[in-house]
Amino acid sequence: MGQSGTGPNGTRNLGPRCIALVGPFQSGKTTLLEAILSRTGAVQRQGTVDAGTTIGDASKEARHHKMSVEATFATTNFMDDNYTFIDCPGSIEFIQDMRSVLPAVDAAVVVCEADEKKVPQLQLILRELEDQNIPHFLFLNKIDKADKRVRETIKLLQPASRVPLLLRQIPIWNGDIISGFVDLALERAYVYREHAPSEIIELKGQDLDRKKEARFTMLETLADHDDQLMEQLLEDIEPPRDKVFDDLAKELRDRIVCPVLLGVATRSNGVLRLLKALRHESPGASETAQRLGVKTSNGAIALVLKTFHTTHGGKMSIVRLLAGQAGDGTTLATPAGDAGRVSGVFKLMGQHFEKRAQATAGETVALGKLDTAKTGDTLSSGKQPAAALVQARPYPPVLAIAVQAKERKDDVKLGPAFTKLTEEDPSLTVVHNAENHEVVIWGQGEMHLRVAAERLADRFMVPVSTRPPSVGYRETIRKPITQRGRHKKQSGGHGQFGDVVLEIKPLPRGSGFKFEDRITGGVVPRNYIPAVEEGVIDALKHGPLGFPVVDLSVALIDGSYHTVDSSDQAFRTAGRIGIVEGLPQCQPVLLEPIHQVEIVCPTEATAKMNAILSGRRGQILGFDTREGWDGWDTVRAQMAEAEIGDLIIEVRSATAGVGSFIFKFDHMAELTGRTADQIVAARRAAE
Ligand SMILES: Nc1nc2c(ncn2[C@@H]2O[C@H](COP(=O)(O)OP(=O)(O)OP(=O)(O)O)[C@@H](O)[C@H]2O)c(=O)[nH]1
Ligand SMILES: [Mg+2]
């Protein structure tokens, strides 16, 4: 293994690297990883996504859905350097895994296609990279299917990027198909060969002219940030090749350009040039550590990129070591001081782990049995735990399902399974609803939740059934009444006697429930009054329409008792009877939760959002351009909780998968008419 560090002119950086493969859905990331692994000799034969033989999509869920559903790590060697590639899922529903690994990578390769429909997704991903200051290349994949000129494609994709897309390679066309490429920095032309390094050829005629023109465009863009190069160009001086490479590396690292390379992942074309660009131009671990503000005096420092639980090996934390060394027995602590001892260091190859010796700075490995470490944690071995290098900020959830163990006997396994599930995927949250004993999993979309349910069954051995979660309906009353509640039982010896008079009154929205004791002269002895209140509260859990009753006051104004037969129990029952008999006469009415919703979407979709919202009883409050997001809008509305339930599905399908929303409870509103009748009827039927 080489020394990590920067060479004299910043162009060469040896030592272990960590590179993320990111990009829109289905752009070829997993296929590219496979091509990289086969090109670097880590796998014998390049697997394919369609045959289900890739390292990247080796998990059962990924194979089943033929898409990546989590980040997969694979370490290989290229020209004597250690490289860990992270194949990230493209679907926005699984984007959390990408967001968790990005802080620790040296660079990202954004795999994309010449597809207009995927530009908003590309923008979303580039935005993450830009916000997190990650140097990135674009790998324009699937150019075997290209039907437009690359320059046009760049024009199409440019709006997604805040920095110039810098075309570094141009294709060589052979009729309608691309047969090779010219590397504009190296000034060499290659023809593709299937699953083999491309062959160098000599350029002639038109191709040579096109190369000269494209190279000039590339140099011009580079010269925008390099005065010396600009002078050379103006004076027609051919800049030295090393200078061009230095500029490419520097401007990538400074994140002022995004170099674009071409290729065909399925045939492994363009892969070697990509690897060489990474080797020569991507920053190394020491620069990444600097970017994160790592203080190296503190022993080992590592960032947890992913957590998962193996069936037999227990918990595994995949970390990038940013400083120091870590091996079996190293104690690593979280910023909060929760320490654990490493038990096993493993090399990563998809689902496969290989035990290895200790890891050194720059390497990405799995560490066994760090029970307190979570994804996103900064771990350190020094006496004083190092401060957190990054803050976890999972996207707020947008969809929920209620889950239940299929078999009662599995109920006890659910709790630990949920803990593991949410540890592995911080963008899932589990909420226990005490009121209706429902357990709800919140996540990022339909597929995300489906995969979560599959994981519960396959990985954590708890098969679950799922259904839509119930809506937080309430009911209230419109009319005040006074009602007597009387409980009298004479059965043989000891009887039961409780008698109360309740004044039941509506309260303004949001007041909840108030109980008042207005007894005078001890007609109900003081010691029984708490029992009356308990009985009332108990009856309010289930009103005449079937829902908890809110926004009312109940005053105990009169009653009577019996010296022998009265008891707490009897007065509790009397209180309950008063409510059960009284409420139906108070004109009960259904209340439904209304939320404040904020949808973000590309501007083209804004009109569709308005239609979706109106179709769902939404009240549109207004729309604005989305702050800091060119070409996006924010639509604000108020919507009933019942209508938000599956809103995300419609929003995603109207926005090529990129629209999203956040929501916050606003108020409860009366609901009457047919919709209300249906809800009450459904509730009755379910009881
Ligand atoms: N023609 C062509 N097809 C490709 C190329 N690369 C990938 N594909 C196909 O594109 C489809 C998606 O490939 P994947 O590698 O799964 O894409 P991905 O980006 O990993 O997908 P997600 O992880 O689900 O976002 C598969 O059917 C691949 O065979 C390519 O260079 N040319
Ligand atoms: Mg994939």
Reported as a single tens digit per residue, the pLDDT across 449-468 is 999 999 999 989 999 999 99
Is 10's pLDDT higher than 70? no
Give distance in angstroms: CA of 60 to centre of ligand 2.
13
**Confidence label for 3 from pLDDT (cuts 50, 70 and 90):** very low
Question: In terms of C-beta density within 10 A (0-12 exposed, 13-18 middle, 19 or more buried), how is residue 534 classed?
Answer: middle
Which atom of ligand 1 is nearest to 111's Cα? 19
Whether the full predicted model's pTM is greater than 0.75, yes or no, is yes
Confidence class of residue 298 from pLDDT cuts 50, 70 and 90? Answer: low
Long-range contacts of 125-128, Cβ-Cβ distance < 8 Å, separation of 24 or more: 125/22, 125/23, 125/24, 125/95, 125/98, 126/160, 126/161, 126/162, 126/258, 127/629, 128/95, 128/98, 128/99, 128/102
What does the pLDDT look like over 633-678, one tens digit per residue? 999 999 999 999 999 999 999 998 999 999 999 999 999 999 999 9
- Residue 591 bridge partners (DSSP): 474, 670
User: Mean pLDDT, the chain, as a whole number?
Assistant: 92
Task: Return the closest-CA partner of residue 223 out of 237, 211, 209, 210.
Answer: 237
Name every residue whose Cβ is closer than 8 Å to that of residue 628 and which is 6 or more positions away in sequence.
none
What's the pLDDT tens digit per position in 57-76?
Answer: 888 889 889 999 999 999 99
Pocket test for ligand 1, best of 31, 65, 91 (most atoms within 8 A of CB): 31
88 CA → ligand 2 middle, Å = 6
- Whether the pLDDT of residue 342 is over 70: the answer is yes
Beta strands in 384-493 (DSSP E): 399-405, 429-433, 438-443, 464-467, 474-477, 481-489
pLDDT in tens, 563-599: 989 999 999 999 999 999 999 999 999 999 999 999 9
Predicted local distance difference test score (pLDDT) of residue 11: 42
Res 614: pLDDT: 92
Residue 506 has pLDDT above 80, yes or no: yes
Residue 612 pLDDT greater than 50, yes or no: yes
Residues with CB under 6 A from ligand 1: 25-31, 48-50, 67-68, 89-91, 111, 141-142, 144-145, 264-266
Give the pLDDT confidence score for residue 6 in this predicted structure.
44
Give every CB contact of residue 169 below 8 A, 6+ residues apart in sequence: 181, 182, 183, 184, 260, 261, 262, 270, 273
Task: Please tell me the distance between residue 99's alpha carbon and the centre of ligand 1 in angstroms.
Answer: 21
Q: Indicate the pLDDT class of residue 102, thresholds 50, 70 and 90.
A: very high
- Distance in Å, CA 48 to ligand 1 centroid: 9
Quick one: pLDDT at residue 361?
93
Adjacent-strand bridge partners of 136: 108
Cβ neighbours of residue 202 closer than 8 Å, sequence gap 6 or more: 189
Residues in the chain, total: 687
pLDDT tier, 5 (very low <50, low <70, confident <90, very high otherwise): very low
Where does the pLDDT of residue 175 fall: very low under 50, low under 70, confident under 90, or very high at 90 and above?
confident
- The pLDDT of residue 253 is 92
Place of tokens 């090393």: 242
Q: What is the pLDDT of residue 295?
A: 82
Task: Read off the pLDDT of residues 538-572 as tens digits, 9 standing for 90 and up.
Answer: 999 999 999 999 999 999 999 999 998 999 999 99
Environment class of 611 (CB within 10 Å of its CB; exposed 0-12, middle 13-18, buried 19+): exposed
What DSSP designation does 549 have?
B
Q: What is the mean pLDDT of residues 469-478?
A: 95
- 619 Cα: distance to centroid of ligand 2 (angstroms): 39
pLDDT tens-digit readout, 189-202: 999 888 788 899 98
C-alpha to C-alpha distance for 139 and 270, rounded to whole angstroms = 9
Which ligand has an atom closest to residue 28 CA?
A: 1
Which neighbouring-strand residues pair with 489? 496
- The answer to whether the beta carbons of residues 205 and 212 sit under 8 Å apart is no
* 189-193: long-range contacts, CB 8 A cutoff, minimum separation 24: 190/273, 192/264, 192/267, 192/269, 192/270
* Partners of residue 364 on adjacent β-strands: 320
* Percentage of the chain exceeding pLDDT 70: 98
